[in-house]
Amino acid sequence: MNQIRTTRRTTSVAVDPGVVVNPDQARALLDAVLKIDPPLHAFFASIYYAAPRPGETRNIRKDNLTLPDEGWGEIRLRKNFQQPGADWTDDGEVWEERGLKHRDENDMRTVPAHPDLVKAYRRHLEEHGTGVGGRLFVTRVGRGGNGGVPIAGPYQNPVNMKTVYRVWEAARAGALTPRQYASDLARRPYDLRHACVSTWLSAGVDATQVAKWAGHSVDVLMKTYAKCLDDQENGAKKRIEALLNPRGDAN
């Protein structure tokens, strides 16, 4: 084995800015989801406005939410729900509830809920209710007579990712131009998380705080969003120029 020579392959972890939607595009996509599959609107809104990973979003429960009448709310993320398959779980189930990524089993991560997300949650709870255990986003195998609230039962697992991908593909087709649809723009639901983190950084939120909300280390955050930070550096330089030369005098 010592005689075998290999070339180390390098991979880039940096997010491509070409996948990141702007606020207008994000709103158009979320509006499209609301028309296609209303119970999943708050699912995608969660990722865009608060940056949980899809597996964390699938496990959001009513008790995890603080939803004031006005202003910002709060989400307490506790578990990450994965679907690795029966061959890869201890109990032979296709589902598995795990701890948050890069954290101890019982750790929690608290993130702010934008006022628009608070409204989306309130609408979801009023119109669609929750599944077993208070989960918001479940596989809805039946509908009750109370405004479409799902029938409670033992088979209400978190929403299947195949359903998530199907709805997202339909939303992209309906909300984006043909050229945008053919591009990598918001190709995956996960790209909404990238858009959220990029928005926080663009708003001037300290990188340490952004990393805490996103569940990253600062080092990983800076590497992952290095390309998205290029424009932030240019903006920072302009603000420094404005501060040092407020009258705009020529050099």
Here the tokens at position 22 are 């702007």
Confidence of residue 46 (pLDDT cuts 50, 70, 90): very high
Where do the domains of the chain lie?
A: 17-242
**CATH code for 17-242?**
1.10.443.10
Q: Which stretches within the chain are classed as H helix?
A: 23-36, 41-50, 54-57, 115-127, 161-175, 178-182, 190-202, 207-214, 218-224, 229-244
Burial pattern 188-214, b for ≥16 Cβ within 10 A else e, equals: bbebbbbbbbbbbbeeeeebeebbbbb
pTM: 0.78
Rounded average pLDDT over 218-226: 86
Rounded average pLDDT over 64-90: 76
Determine the pLDDT at residue 241.
79
Percent of the chain with pLDDT over 90: 48
Determine the pLDDT at residue 151.
47
CA–CA separation, 216 vs 103, rounded Å? 10
CA–CA separation, 188 vs 249, rounded Å? 47
pLDDT higher than 60, residue 92:
no
Rounded average pLDDT over 108-117: 93
Give tens-digit pLDDT for 145-162: 344 444 444 446 788 889
Determine the pLDDT at residue 30.
98
Lowest-confidence range among 30-44, 121-135, 153-167, 189-203? 153-167
Which residues 6+ apart lie within 8 Å of 48 measured at CB? 26, 30, 192, 193, 195, 196
Output the CA torsion 201→204→209→212 (10° steps): -10
pLDDT higher than 90, residue 7:
no
Crossing angle of helices 23-36 and 190-202, rounded to 10°: 150
CB 84 within 8 A of CB 230: no
Q: Which of 202, 213, 218 is nearest to 100 (CA)?
A: 213
